Amino acid sequence: MTHSIALNFEDGVTRFVEARACETIADAAYRLGINVPLDCRDGACGTCKCRVESGEYDGGSYIDDALTEEEAASGLALACQARPKSDLVVAVQAASAACKTRPQAFETVLRGVERLSATSLAFTLERPAGLAFLPGQYVNLRVPGTDQRRSYSFSSAPGAATLSFLVRDIPGGRMSGWLGTAQPGAQMEFTGPAGSFYLREVGRPLLFLAGGTGLAPFLSMLGRLAATGTGGHPLHLVYGVTNDADLVGVAELGAFAARIPGFTYSTCVATEASAHPRKGYVTAHLEPRHLNGGDVDVYLCGPPPMVDAVRGWLAAQGVTPASFHYEKFSPSGPADAARLAA
Ligand code: FES
């Protein structure tokens, strides 16, 4: 029996490897030419220390100098010793280039483009063979006919048959302009997956905060949670946009609320001119119960001012969430500057 291991490198690159029965994380990686940090290979030096973010594993044998009891209890493991007992997500303490790997490149085909509103588009791609990703991650897509790249988070769940994305329709925007006239069957290419903004194992209540097309990664996460459940933990999402026309994907949220026990959501529109019943920013629509006294995992994806505002608001509440994962994005920025994952 094999287990999938998602290796997440410090620079945001993710590579997936399949571990054979009884194979260590390091052996599975090296078999694919991914040279994760190693020295003694014997559980003695600690060079291969990594963080297992989700999944079950046998930690193997090692000396305390290589990995202390406290480190092991906090989720650290030795890649030369640890053997997966389920699929794993592993944070490697090195950049991808240092491990002689890089983002994978894929070629694909445009399935279709859908106009969701005056300001938003969705597009769908064929799923290339061999692609795996974590819910919340993104890819860097080349704008056809140019050398420009744009990064977009998957809005589809990892197991979906096709790949979906949300795009803000920016006047003069390279990708949204191309999508405006693109025909199904057009060739596209991307590299990825990438990003450290992905759903971790659910161990406490969750709070999702989405701004604009920052909803996309949450739709992917909700797709995963619709399949796995939340382990009985409540999950609340607040989705804020600037103008009424920016509010898309609400029907999908309603469908997820019907499928995921404990999932609730609310929407809000910032502009005063809105006809929406809830106006203002997402922080105006949070209640103390959503923060659960700090025993909550917070995920936030939105434009930089929103991320900064939420961080400031949490500090003002005197609440430090158990974990806080965020991703800033700029809808028109180049790929490298567009994602600043925490
Ligand atoms: Fe030395 Fe793993 S390489 S402990």
CA-CA distance, 189 to 105, in Å (whole number)? 7
37 C-alpha to ligand 1 centroid (Å): 8
**What per-residue confidence (pLDDT) applies to 334?**
40
Q: What is the pLDDT of residue 332?
A: 53
Residue 230 lies in a domain: yes
* Whole-angstrom distance, CA of residue 165 vs CA of residue 152: 7
The verdict on 281 and 210 lying in the same domain is: yes
Q: Which atom of ligand 1 is nearest to the CA of 46?
A: 4
Cβ 88 under 6 angstroms from ligand 1: no
49 lines ligand 1 (CB under 6 A): no
d(CA 338, CA 152): 9
44 in ligand 1 pocket by Cβ < 6 Å?
yes
Residue 139 CB contacts under 8 Å (≥ 6 apart), including other chains: 106, 133, 151, 152, 154, 190, 191, 192, 193, 194
Question: How far is ligand 1, taken at its centre, from the CA of residue 44, in Å?
Answer: 6
For residue 341, the model assigns a pLDDT of 35
Per-residue tokens: 85: 């007992």
Which pLDDT does position 316 carry in this prediction?
87
Residue 199 counted as domain residue:
no
Nearest-atom index, ligand 1, CA of 78: 2
Atom of ligand 1 nearest to the CA of 80: 2
Q: Does 170 lie in the same domain as 71? A: no
- C-alpha distance from residue 297 to each of 47, 154, 203, 205, 218 (Å): 30, 21, 8, 6, 14
Same domain, 39 and 165: no
Q: Classify residue 229 by burial, with Cβ atoms within 10 Å: 0-12, 13-18, 19+.
A: middle
Q: Of 99, 117, 148, which residue constitutes the final position of a domain?
A: 99
Whether 143 is in the pocket of ligand 1, judged by its Cβ within 6 Å, is no
Residues 79 and 148 reside in one and the same domain: no
Q: Which of 169, 194, 219 is the last residue of a domain?
A: 194
Those residues of the chain that have pLDDT short of 50 are 333-342
Q: Which pTM value belongs to this model?
A: 0.90
> Could you give the number of structural domains in the chain?
3
Residue 25, ligand 1, Cβ within 6 A? no
Q: Note whether 12 and 90 are same-domain residues.
A: yes
Q: Report the pLDDT value the prediction gives residue 329, as an integer from 0 to 100.
A: 76
Range of the domain at 11: 3-99
* Residue after which a domain boundary falls, among 74, 99, 124: 99
Q: Are 237 and 334 members of one domain?
A: yes
Terminus-to-terminus CA distance in the chain, angstroms?
A: 34
Nearest alpha carbon to residue 300 among 325, 268, 331: 325
- The closest residue, in CA terms, to atom 4 on ligand 1 is 43
Q: Is residue 86 part of a domain?
A: yes
For residue 201, tell me if it sits in a domain: no
Atom of ligand 1 nearest to the CA of 62: 4
CA of 125 to the centre of ligand 1 (A): 41
Give yes or no: residues 80 and 170 share one domain: no
Q: Are residues 109 and 186 in the same domain?
A: yes
Q: Are residues 87 and 111 in the same domain?
A: no
**Does residue 43's CB lie within 6 angstroms of at least one atom of ligand 1?**
yes
Q: Is the CB of 41 under 6 A from ligand 1?
A: yes
26 lines ligand 1 (CB under 6 A): no
Q: Same domain for 95 and 112?
A: no
pLDDT tens figures, 232-285: 999 999 999 999 999 999 999 999 999 999 999 999 999 989 989 999 899 989
CATH number assigned to the domain comprising residue 218: 3.40.50.80
Residue 12 lies in a domain: yes
Residue 200 within a domain: no
Residue among 39, 90, 93 whose CB has most ligand 1 atoms within 8 A, to mutate? 39
One domain, residues 272 and 331: yes
Residue 38 CB–ligand 1 contact under 6 Å: yes
Give CA–CA dist 9/36, Å, rounded: 9
- Pairing relationship of beta strands 149-153 and 104-115 according to DSSP bridges: unpaired
Asked if residue 35 is part of any domain, the answer here is yes
278 backbone dihedrals φ, ψ, rounded to 5°: -115, 115
43 CA: nearest ligand 1 atom: 4
Do both 186 and 213 map to the same domain? no
Rounded to whole angstroms, how far apart are CA atoms 175 and 156? 19
